[in-house]
Each structure stands twice: as C-alpha cells, then as structure tokens.
Amino acid sequence: MISVFDVFKIILGVIISVFILFVLLRFATSYMEIGESGRQASIMVNLKKSIEDVYTTGISSDFEGKDADLILGYSPPYIETPVASVDMDPVPLFLVPGKGLSIYRNEYDLGWWKFYYIEAMPETSILFVPLGAQEKTLPLIGNITRFLPSTENTKAKTKFGIGCNGTEFWFGWERYKFTEAIMPRLLTADLELNLCENVNYFRDKGFRLVTLSEDLKEADFVVKPLDEDIGYVYIRNEEGYAEFMYKNGLDIAALLLGGKGLYDYTNEKFFSGLEVAVDVSIKESGILMTNAGINQRCGTKVAEFVGILNAIKELIPKIKGPANEDDAREFALYIKSSSMKYRELDSMGCA
C-alpha cells in the first residue's frame, strides 16, 4: 500500500520535473531563435560586405538564392530584414528586392569627378516605348540606359528592348549590346511605334515599361523631355500622376527602380558629393596656379574651368530642393560645360 510519504514524493517529483522541463523548453526555444537571428544577421552582414566590395573594387558579383528572400524592403539607406535594418550609408545603393541579385557598380562620370553608386537587382526586363519626335526620345534612351546596370558578368540579367508596334516588340539585349549594336540601328531606322496594347502581358511578365513622349500618355511611367538634358517623369498613382523633374539620366534611373524615396536619397548623395568635388577642384586649381607656376596657356583655361565650377557651386543650393526649369536647365548646361572644359584641359596636358 502506498504511504502518504510516497504520494508526497510523487507529487513533488511531478512538480519539479514539469518545472525543469518548462525551463529547459523555454530556454531551448529562445536559444534556437537567437541562433536563427544570428544566421540571418550573418547573411545580411555578408550582403553588406559584398555591396561594399563591389563599391570599392568595381568588380560585379552575385548574391544568390534563398538568402535574398530575407530582404523585406529597401527604404534608402536602410535594407529592411526580419532581424534589423541594415544601414548602407555611405554607399549610394539602388536596391530592388528579389530572388538572386546582381551587384554592379555604375558611375556618373564628369571627367573631373565620378559619382559611384551600386545597383543590386534581380532579373529585370526594361522596355522603352519612344513616341512622337524620335530625334528627342531615342537619344534619351541611351542616356537612361547608361545609368542602369550592365550585367554581362553576373547571373541575374537586366535586359532591354524597345516597342511596341501593335503587339510586336523587340527585346532581349543586355546593356552593352543594346547601346552599342541595337540603338545605332534604331536611330537610323524609321520606326512607327505606339503605346503597347498588351499591357497586362507585360505586367504579368514583370516588365518595366518606360514610355518616352513629349505629351503625357496613359502609361505607368512616362518620361517627358523638355530638351536634351532635362524634363519631367510622371509616375501613375491612385490620385493620377506624381510629377518629378529630372536633371540627368541618374534621376530617371532612380525613379524607375525605387520611386520617390530613391530619387530623393540619390539627389542628396549626388549633391553632397558634387559640393565636395567642386570645392576640392577649385582649391586644387588655386594651389596649382599659385604654388606650382602653371604656364600662361594652361592658366587661362584653368581659370575658365574654375569659373564654371563656381557657377555650379552657386547653383547647387537652388537645385538641391524643388528646382525650377530655368535653374535645372542652367545646371545641366554648366555640368556639360565642365566636362567639356576638363576634356580640353586634359588634351592640352593641363588637367
């Protein structure tokens, strides 16, 4: 027969066992969660390192497979993940979340300064739809394409094409082939292009359609050039269209890949870099002219170059915020002049 003491032993044993089991289970669960978070964090650290490596070396790479699923979103400069937000500053990054990313360093080269930025993108299909005056819209395609990634050396490809003639379109080239072989042919061909009729087909296939037209057309993403360098981008939303002014192809690429958030962030990074570059170049020219005794021939040209840089410096505060068309036009003109003048200096051996 079981004594009272035996019953007590059983009850005490059960209580202690349940308690121990509970403590162990709780600890094991949180330990597993910590382990999983640690794994996810180390994947994100690797992604950050890959992006930084590409930024500093210029050698493209891939970020493959399931790991890319951990990216929930990108609100510049933060990559949102289930563990934490990964701050990518100071690397200017165009990131489009998706399976398998190609990481590519692109640049806006002014000759006397380069603005480096990273494009991390999954497989992407971009179809340009130039309408109306093609002498304006076709060169603009080349100007936009050079700010998008060249994926010849990576697995996730970004391909370009042009359309549409009814339901017909021409597509499937990477940047180099598209700009070097296809675009020159298109510029001489007498194309008759219209808005794509089968929009749903393109939406299902994940195409990004870029409509280029001097009038606003019924499309999701419309680029309206005012002249060679500046114009407006219209992005369709619930209320109609959001309007953004572009001053270069970089603005259009930012809007196409990341909308307003990326456009604002890119402008902030670009202008802070440009401000520093202008200051350094002005000071550098001053030092060389006073201390290194630049000859008369170079001196005049260097002074002209510094004059252009000073004009850019004065325009930066105006153009940084919401700019008007005249300021934007003037800015684009000075940027172009600065590159031309620098090339001239370089060819004279004065740069």
Partner 1 sequence: MIEVMSMKTRKGGKGQVHLMEYVLLSFFVMLIIVLITLFLTGWQMSTIGSEQRKVTYAKAEFLLRAFTNSPYINKNTYKEGSMLEDSKLSSITCDDLEKLYGTGWYAEVESLEFKDECTIDNYPLCGKWSYCKKEGEATTFEIPVNIYRKTTGEIDIGFLKVGLYIKQG
Q: 63: which residues sit within 8 A by CB, 6+ positions away?
A: 47, 50, 100, 101, 103, 120
With binding defined as CB under 8 A, does residue 25 bind partner 1? no
Cis peptide before 90 (omega within 30 of 0): yes
CB of 17 to partner 1, least distance (A): 10
Cβ-based nearer residue to partner 1, 41 or 195: 41
CB atoms within 10 A of CB 159: 18
Cβ-based nearer residue to partner 1, 26 or 260: 26
Residue 101 near residue 156, CB atoms below 8 Å: yes
- Interface map 42-81 toward partner 1 (x if CB under 8 A): ---x---x--x--xxxx-----------------------
Helix axes 296-320, 249-291, angle to 10 degrees: 140
CB of 189 to partner 1, least distance (A): 35
Secondary structure (H, E, C), 175-201: HHHHHHHHHHHHHHCCCCCCCCCCHHH
With binding defined as CB under 8 A, does residue 340 bind partner 1? no
**CA max distance for the chain:** 118
Torsion, CA 63, CA 65, CA 69, CA 74, rounded to 10: 20
The binder of partner 1 chosen from 24, 32, 72, 84 (CB under 8 A): 24
CA distances from 105 to 86, 123, 148, 240, 323 (A): 19, 16, 10, 34, 28
Window of 3-11, 207-215, 216-224, 300-308 that interacts with partner 1 by CB under 8 A = 3-11
Q: Which amino acid appears at position 225 of this protein?
A: P
CB of 4 to partner 1, least distance (A): 9
Contacts with partner 1 by CB under 8 A: the residue count is 44
**Which residue carries 């109609």 as its tokens?**
240
DSSP 147: T
Q: Which two tokens stand for residue 299?
A: 């001196």
No. of helices (H) and no. of strands (E), the chain: 8, 14
CB of 132 to partner 1, least distance (A): 38
Q: Which residues of 34-58 are buried (b: 16+ CB within 10 A; e: fewer)?
A: eeeeeebbebbeebbebbeebbeee
Cβ-based nearer residue to partner 1, 116 or 232: 116
Window 74-133: residues binding partner 1 (CB under 8 A): 89-90, 111-116
CB of 288 to partner 1, least distance (A): 6
The binder of partner 1 chosen from 31, 152, 260, 343 (CB under 8 A): 31
With binding defined as CB under 8 A, does residue 153 bind partner 1? no
Cβ-based nearer residue to partner 1, 48 or 99: 48
Cβ-based nearer residue to partner 1, 59 or 181: 59
- Interface map 262-301 toward partner 1 (x if CB under 8 A): ----------xx-xxx-xxx-xx--xx--xx---------
Binding site for partner 1 (CB under 8 A): 5, 8-9, 12-13, 16, 20, 23-24, 27, 31, 34, 38, 41, 45, 49, 52, 55-58, 89-90, 111-116, 272-273, 275-277, 279-281, 283-284, 287-288, 291-292, 351
